[in-house]
Structure 1
């Protein structure tokens, strides 16, 4: 996503300078690590400010400020340079202001407070941002997008396709729902799965009762993944605990109808139609899979209008303008 944002800025004609390579992430809630990272950030600031003045930076943009990886440099650098400070996909987690991430959560909140403009990707993020936004702060919706300006040919297959990493905690619930859904679909329904990871054996065990109805392709490079989308008929991915899910955008770029549940974040990137509620479970997904899908061309038109590089560049340009950058 960060690389896509840099492409969007380039698409609108902006010069993009990467200010630092500091990885300010603490995944475990380690107070000593948090202190060390903050000290490293402080040490980097003088050189960054000098480079910013020399290069004539007009704005500072940070992607994905949150309690495990706060922006430890941007607010101070922007303040010293006298330039607008903008955040993309920032989140507030005030319940983390106490506990093992206390220091980093406070830094993330301070960065959110300092931002002139915050681009939010989903309605769920907007709720918390709006509830605690300073009066002068602008909140701008930036729809998740694909780093491309055109669309591929329409998919022409019939099989169901699932695309998802196989991390034990994060993805297994969706794979479990897919297996339950497949058991309710006609016997001739086939499923192709793209993905790999430490939980692959568990996913294979879930799918073992279906025998040759399920085929595993493993992890695929982008060109091979595009061919998998092209040979599919629909994408099935319930979306349990997804922030929004780039695979939905990739599949819909090929015109594929999506079989997913109506979940926060997920609904922000799906072609608008009534999706099954979470409480309907596999039965709701199975009924939905058998219902008449929207026209593939309509799905592609939706992606073209909202979720490609030109639309993202226009949104970012508008947000920069609100911050006084032209």
Structure 2
């Protein structure tokens, strides 16, 4: 099989720190193999500037130049294509365009974003580098319609823009949930948007009617804040901690519905996992989440916790509605969000570029 050089500038798939980026990187390497390519993680150089520090950016550029020189020399001769995951203004791909051009192979990006608003200010240099890297790509795979807006507006030449729906790295669906257990939340606990979602959850729980239970799977540096938010509900809320994939599958199967508001989520793998198990989802109607959620009713963010509570009460009161939404969600995941579908999408484009 031909080899595909794989690189994730923001976080290596081998990182010891759990995150959606790490899991997506691992999943993409798996799907590349299914598409007929040997995935080579060719570099673990992290290019990431959280603060907008020009000096730090310059140091990373120097490191990237040395790494690119090494890769041009050492990259396997049967490498047919370069694939970069998640290049953006804080974490631009400083390797792929240089190495692929020197080695004469196609260059592809997955889930890249363009941020024209960052072309001035503290990240200007990195934003320009991210734009140049996107311009160099023969094809860019986008995951959501929201990402497509700027990619299409600023498309370079005859560059291909290909929709790759977010996917689970499985061939088949897990067993279906019984839909008669507690509500379930699963997410990392960190400051920012994640904590904002947990805050919304606490506000929503305060408005729920009758007897209810919520289990929370996940951990992280903001766990004390999350525990404080949930403390008023006593033993109605149970913390499960960070679970391995097998334990998460079992946890989804014991739940009645999945509750995660999704504040500023790019899309959220947990939504795919929950729907694969046949759980109806309670989330807000946001640009990232609506690409991967079963088309149905989701509260507008402006309607706040009251609308979320009303939706939860509606689902808790109607087992038939839960079963209907869950079955339709499973069918959607099986159709467009599993490994075979993702592999076919990648294979079609990569093979054309390699043959061309």
The question of a shared fold, defined as TM-score above 0.5 by the shorter chain, is answered with yes
Task: Answer yes or no: is the 8 Å Cα contact 2:80–2:354 preserved in 1.
Answer: no
| Equivalence for 1:217 | 240
**Cα deviations across residues 12-35 of structure 1 (Å, max 9, x unaligned)?**
221122222211111121211211
| Equivalence for 1:227 | 250
How many residue pairs align between the two structures? 325
Q: 1:295, CA displacement in angstroms?
A: 4.0
The alpha-carbon distance between structure 1 residues 173 and 46, as it changes in their structure 2 partners (threshold 3 A), is closer
| Equivalence for 1:303 | 333
Instruction: Give me the whole-angstrom Cα distance separating, in 2, the residues matched to 1:14 and 1:30.
Output: 37
- Match of 2:90, SS state, is coil
Unaligned runs of 5+ in 2: 1-23, 316-320
Instruction: Give me the whole-angstrom Cα distance separating, in 1, the residues matched to 2:261 and 2:355.
Output: 40
Query: Which of 114, 137, 146 is equivalent to 2:168?
Result: 146
Task: Answer yes or no: is the 8 Å Cα contact 1:138–1:322 preserved in 2.
Answer: no
Give the superposed CA RMSD. 1.5
| Equivalence for 1:17 | 40
Matched, 1:175 2:198: yes
- Match of 2:285, SS state, is coil
| Equivalence for 1:190 | 213
Query: Which of 265, 268, 271 is equivalent to 2:288?
Result: 265
Task: Answer yes or no: is the 8 Å Cα contact 2:81–2:354 preserved in 1.
Answer: no
- Match of 2:184, SS state, is strand
- Match of 1:263, SS state, is coil
| Equivalence for 2:268 | 245
Matched, 1:109 2:131: yes
Instruction: Give me the whole-angstrom Cα distance separating, in 1, the residues matched to 2:170 and 2:72.
Output: 33
Matched, 1:131 2:153: yes
Instruction: Give me the whole-angstrom Cα distance separating, in 2, the residues matched to 1:155 and 1:303.
Output: 15
Q: 1:44, CA displacement in angstroms?
A: 2.2
Matched, 1:95 2:117: yes
Deviates more, 1:251-260 or 1:222-231: 222-231
The alpha-carbon distance between structure 1 residues 199 and 47, as it changes in their structure 2 partners (threshold 3 A), is closer
| Equivalence for 1:56 | 78
Q: 1:168, CA displacement in angstroms?
A: 2.1
Query: Which of 301, 308, 311 is equivalent to 1:285?
Result: 308
- Match of 2:141, SS state, is strand
| Equivalence for 1:314 | 344
Query: Which of 36, 53, 56 is equivalent to 2:59?
Result: 36
Q: 1:43, CA displacement in angstroms?
A: 1.4
Instruction: Give me the whole-angstrom Cα distance separating, in 1, the residues matched to 2:108 and 2:354.
Output: 11
Unaligned runs of 5+ in 1: none
